[in-house]
Amino acid sequence: MIARLKTSLAAAVLTGLLAAPAGTALAAGEAPTPPSRSWSFGGVFGTFDKAELQRGFQVYSQGCAGCHALGQIAYRNLEALGYNEDEVKAIAAQAFVMDGPNEEGEMFERAARPSDKFASPFPNEQAARYANGGAYPPDLSLIIKARPGGADYVHAILTGYDDPPGGIEMPIGQYYNTYMPGQRIAMPPPLYPDGVAYDDGTAATIEQQAHDVSAFLTWASHPHMDERKTAGVMTILFLIVFTGLLYATKRKIWANVH
């Protein structure tokens, strides 16, 4: 029951925080710029860390998926995180999707397959709003692209909860968050120490969970980042070599021209 409550709270928080960062503020004021963090995928030569992404997937699965869809990603895409075919099938089979019509012309529910997109936690938008007090939980597939600061922003929001400074009184049911406009938010902190049990034994601190799920959501928004970076580097190297050959050819052709 406690674990289920934590999951519901985490999903509800992400609904409000990521759907409209300015809209949840209760007082005017600019939020500080999220600090720039070091990410494995940062820079021209950065690449995704598969172990990090798998941990982030665990945080998403156990803390976010109850309310937030990941509709642009298929279960088979998880192979890019290092899961094998059987593991992907097992992960997909835990969810159910609507299919059909069948021979009788009726839609039916079945276990998800690797080729299916991540199942939505709600059958429609109205059901999602009803379950979340009127707020519509955003699809997290592109949340990193949609928010200035990307992974830095998501990480800052998830770890920005703190006790209010002296002299500031928080209304009942409101929480202080350093990186929210107005520093007030109406939902509880989404992450708890040991909120998940990482398969690789990593200590599940709040900082670690926030880092890992931010990395996972970055991959969800940019699943082909590594391939694009590799192609870009190879293109630059080709152009450098090609430029050198052109210069050498020019020198050879015009060597005897005065």
Phi-psi region at 111: left, alpha or beta (left = phi > 0; alpha = psi -120 to 50): beta
Q: List, in sequence order, every residue forming a beta bridge with 111; answer none if it has no partner.
A: 96
Residue 216 contacts residue 58 (beta carbons within 8 Å): no
Name which of 126, 156, 128 is nearest 17 in CA terms: 156
Per-residue pLDDT of the chain (258 residues; tens, 9 = 90+): 344 444 444 444 454 444 444 334 334 457 889 999 999 999 889 999 999 999 999 999 998 888 888 989 999 999 999 999 999 999 999 999 888 888 888 888 889 999 999 999 898 889 988 887 777 788 899 989 988 899 998 999 899 999 888 878 888 778 898 988 788 876 678 889 999 999 999 999 999 999 999 999 999 999 998 888 889 889 999 999 999 999 999 888 887 775
Give the 3-state secondary structure of residue 225. Answer: helix
Pairing of strands 184-185, 175-176: antiparallel
For 2-73+117-223, CATH gives 1.10.760.10
Let me know how long the chain is: 258
Cα Rg for the chain, rounded, in angstroms? 23
